[in-house]
Amino acid sequence: MHTTIAIRFAGAATALAAGFAASAQEGKQLYEQKCAMCHATGVAGAPRPGNAADWAPRLKAGKAAVYRNAVQGTARGMPPKGGNADLAESAVRAAVDYM
């Protein structure tokens, strides 16, 4: 019985890891295609990927607030969903996670 449980757990863990990998790849691809034009250089104060100083004040409000700003847009110039209303919220979140 323990062997069966271990095999099921291993299978579930592998599937979960594959889901995270797909999400990370989706986030990277979306960033490169749609987000980099502003975020790579920090246009209009856009937080740059990997720049802790840019992200710290935003993350202070919590990751949910960062997701909300990416999805709904901000008064400082971030358009809702980066200007692509057809994007799924999960794709926008993946791009935020990538950054």
Note the pLDDT of residue 86. Answer: 93
Tell the residue number behind the tokens 């950054």, with chain if given.
Answer: 99
Question: What is this structure's pTM?
Answer: 0.74
Contact (CB, 8 A) for 81 and 70:
yes
Note the pLDDT of residue 9. Answer: 46
Note the pLDDT of residue 49. Answer: 94
Note the pLDDT of residue 14. Answer: 44
Query: What 3 state SS string does 31-42 have?
Result: HHHHHHHHHCCC
Strands (E), the chain: none
Note the pLDDT of residue 24. Answer: 82
Residues of the chain with pLDDT under 50: 2-21
% the chain with pLDDT above 70: 78
Tell the residue number behind the tokens 């935020």, with chain if given.
Answer: 96
